[in-house]
Structure 1
Amino acid sequence: MGVKLYVMDFSPPSRACMLTCEIFGIPFEKIPVDLFKGEHLAPEYLQKNPLHTIPVLEDGDFILYDSHAIMAYLADTYGKDESWYPKDVKKRALVNQKLFFNTAVIYRRLRNITYYVFQRGRKTLEQDWLDDIAEGYDFLEAFLSKTKYIAGDHITIADIAILSHLTNLEYILPIDAKKYPKTSAWLEDFKATPYAKKHNEEGAKALNDLLKKFLTS
């Protein structure tokens, strides 16, 4: 049967959910939601998600929004390999910790920029924004200096969530491989995976191109 995902390709949270479906072999119907046309504000969409954000998941009559909640639900419901979202309480807590980190730090730093560029018409990137991104890289380098992946020594959905955002942050502030060798290597490895090629690469480029267009127009 599969599930439905209301998404926009350039949205990192949307891409994270599509990546999760691909990894777990979950068939999904991709339903585009054009934010620039205000489709997320349509009454029928607000019935699904009063926050009018993307992505939104429909699994039968079950509706869920927030990408991290969706990823966790998909892993619990359809994942055959629980290592991606461990059932062990302590291992899962470490994954949740990094998902919350993504929400509070990585996502927020990207969202600050896209909001001011797309909605407020800013034409230049503030130094404070770039400094905040660099701080995010510092945190990631610290994590990856202790474990092979973001939340431990095995790949998890936390890696996927951060991957989808970092492929846009690196466009805004390139990752210095000398300063952040582990973060740079981690990202390059993930970008080369078949699922990232299929469900992340094109969308990340679309957002990067859009940022360039808004900043230079």
Structure 2
Amino acid sequence: MTIDFYYMIESPPCRAVLMTAKHLQISLNLKSLNLAKGEHLSDQFREINPQHCVPTIVDNGFVLWESRAIMRYLIEKYASNSDLYPQDLERRAKINQLLDFDIGTLYKNQSNFLNPILELMPTKKSDEEKFRKSLSILDTILSKQKFVASDALSIADLSIIASLSYAESAEFDFTEFTHVKNWMTMLKTTLSYYDEVNSEAIKSFTSYLKMKKQEIKEKMELK
């Protein structure tokens, strides 16, 4: 079994897939792409993935992109009995619900709030409020159960904690969202692979965002 994994370590969705593979003990043939240098725009990679995005896997000729689709695929093909994505229909439905909440609400609102920093633009209060509302929903969910989809760890937890590492890198204060903060701490301390996959990437991205914030500050002072 050889699964080529095209990724950028700073990307939260890429790290969600990496954590899933680590949890399932699935070996990936890592192929790092530097998006800042446009390596994902090469003819070779475009031939593999015309959307030229990461993460992307090539499993014995089968190509798949989008992190949440990849996470489900790895389990269904290589670990069908895993509790990360159990076969019980109702449990899977709740996991899918939270995965959809992640990509369609939480990660979307977080990106709308924080992405302007990457373009040397100030963030907007209205976008921050939408992100906070998303976190409030997640906080309510976690006030009633140990993990995001139930009382058992699932790929929804891995996806969402990876997503929120973006806000963590931007030094967002989660104090207001007690249950989210406690859940994040629990996962960081109980998942044996969390630091291996995430720590250096978060540190690197934190430094990068600090640099961007300083550039924005200097830009605003010149006006």
TM-score, scaled relative to structure 1 = 0.92
Aligned match of 1:186 = 183
Please, which moves more after superposition, 109-118 or 128-137?
Answer: 109-118
Aligned match of 1:168 = 166
Q: How does 1:1-217 map to 2 (within 5 A)?
A: 1-79=1-79, 81-113=81-113, 115-118=115-118, 120-122=119-121, 124-172=122-170, 173-176=172-175, 179-192=176-189, 193-217=191-215
Q: CA deviation at 1:204?
A: 2.0
Deviating beyond 6 angstroms after TM superposition, the runs of 4 or more aligned structure 1 residues are none
Q: Which one scores higher on RCO, CA 8 angstroms, separation ≥ 6? A: 1
Report if aligned partners of 1:150, 1:158 keep a CA contact under 8 Å in 2.
yes
Post-superposition Cα deviations, 1:65-84, rounded to whole Å, max 9, x if no partner, equal 00000000011112264211
CA shift in 2, pair 1:114/1:37, >3 Å: farther
Aligned match of 2:220 = none
Please, which moves more after superposition, 101-110 or 69-78?
Answer: 101-110
TM-score, scaled relative to structure 2 = 0.89
SS in 2 for 1:87: coil
CA shift in 2, pair 1:55/1:135, >3 Å: same
Please, which moves more after superposition, 76-85 or 39-48?
Answer: 76-85
Q: CA deviation at 1:113?
A: 4.2
- Percent of aligned pairs with the same amino acid: 29
Post-superposition Cα deviations, 1:135-179, rounded to whole Å, max 9, x if no partner, equal 121011111122211001110000000011112213432101xx3
Distance between the aligned counterparts of 1:14 and 1:83, measured in 2?
21
Distance between the aligned counterparts of 1:171 and 1:51, measured in 2?
26
Q: CA deviation at 1:134?
A: 1.3
Distance between the aligned counterparts of 1:42 and 1:98, measured in 2?
34
Q: Which runs of 5+ in 1 are unaligned?
A: none
Q: Which runs of 5+ in 2 are unaligned?
A: 216-223
Q: CA deviation at 1:85?
A: 0.4
Structure (1 or 2) with the larger CA radius of gyration: 2
CA shift in 2, pair 1:89/1:151, >3 Å: same
Post-superposition Cα deviations, 1:85-113, rounded to whole Å, max 9, x if no partner, equal 01111111110000011101222123224
Matched residues, number: 213
Distance between the aligned counterparts of 2:139 and 2:75, measured in 1?
26
Alignment RMSD: 1.6
